[in-house]
Amino acid sequence: MSTALTLSQDMPLSQIGQVFAKSGFFADSRDAAQAIVKIMAGAELGFPPVASMTGVYIVKGRPSISAVMMAAMVKRSGKYNYRIRELTETVASIEFFEGKDSLGVSTFTLADAKKAQTQNIDKFPRNMLYARAMSNGVRWYTPDLFGGPVYTPDELGAAVDEEGRPERLEAVATHAEVIDTATGEITSQEPPRAAQNGTGKAEAPYYRFLKRCAALKAEMGEETYYRVLREFDLTSSKDVGDDLGLMKAVVEALEAEKVLLAIDPQPEMSSAAREAEESMGTIADTET
């Protein structure tokens, strides 16, 4: 258990809520009561306070988490795992495992999305199909991880961005009026903005992908970063070419690992262990 987590557990819940609310870093928790609700909701799903504040969203009075957080818990559980079998603009298939045994495949298609009136399916088809395949699979095959049914924000009716986060949370920083201060819920939304490259033009997905990978590598360290890339038979982020589906899957995996490191930081690998892991594949020396 990390020192930070021990310290937070030694503090009364009311004090923790006050600390988070007064910090000003969490736009959807303007007072201690709202922060406490999020922390308690996250605790029931197995998350510590900080992870709960950043990854748990209260939508219409019900807790929800992103597909990235769900994937992170599956990967780190030590009991379950998953592999993306197919990810296109028309279908997402994720196979779940308990140890080496396959539990089944969760598939969500474009036809399923239209029938369920999944939002943003026209704007972010791969993302939304992946999120639904992941959340369905978690409920079907790994229900004990969360102590009950768990849902993504969009499944509960929240408008979400490309990463599956409620759009309203992004707008809160400059538009505080979108938060209902009585309930902590967002009552309005803004459309997501396209990433800009400094010239007023939207960047191509490939270059946004490379920039995101570079940022994630800096945050999590090269050892963890390249280990995740090897899961996709990649030695560099540049190896993805123009495969948007692969870009999405790689970023999701990296984000999941980043969340896991934040929840439960692991000690650095010994030199002997590092040598053993590097013998399983070649790690690129440099990457942009």
Query: What is the tens place of the pLDDT at every residue in 214-259?
Result: 988 888 888 889 988 888 888 888 888 878 878 888 887 887 777 6
**What tokens does 24 get?**
């000003």
Handedness of CA 278, 284, 285, 287 (dihedral sign): negative
Domain membership flag for residue 20:
no
Same domain, 74 and 144: yes
Same domain, 138 and 214: no
* Domain termination site, one of 109, 134, 151: 151
Report how many domains make up the chain. Answer: 2
- Give the pLDDT of residue 44: 77
**What tokens does 43 get?**
């605790």
- Give the pLDDT of residue 263: 53
How large is the angle between the packed helices 32-44 and 13-23, nearest 10 degrees?
120
Residue 189: φ, ψ to 5°: -150, 160
- Give the pLDDT of residue 198: 53
Same domain, 215 and 139: no
C-alpha to C-alpha distance for 248 and 78, rounded to whole angstroms: 24
- Give the pLDDT of residue 203: 58
CA 25, chain centre distance (Å): 19
Same domain, 147 and 217: no
CB-side neighbour CA atoms (13 Å) of 178:
18
Domain membership flag for residue 50:
no
What pairs with residue 101 in β-bridges?
98
Residues of the chain with pLDDT under 50: 1-7, 169-197, 199-202, 267-274, 276-277, 280-288
Domain membership flag for residue 173:
no
Domain membership flag for residue 100:
yes
Domain membership flag for residue 147:
yes
**Closest among 223, 275, 277, 228 to 253, alpha carbons compared:** 228
**Helix or strand holding residue 34 (H, E):** helix 32-44
- Give the pLDDT of residue 93: 97
Domain membership flag for residue 42:
no
Same domain, 147 and 209: no
* Domain termination site, one of 130, 151, 172: 151
Identity at 76, one-letter amino acid code:
R
Domain membership flag for residue 125:
yes
Q: Are 92 and 107 in contact (CB under 8 A)?
A: yes
- Give the pLDDT of residue 186: 39
Structural domain harbouring 254: 205-278
**Helix or strand holding residue 252 (H, E):** helix 244-263
Domain membership flag for residue 26:
no
**What tokens does 192 get?**
């997501």
Same domain, 142 and 209: no
* Domain termination site, one of 151, 179, 194: 151
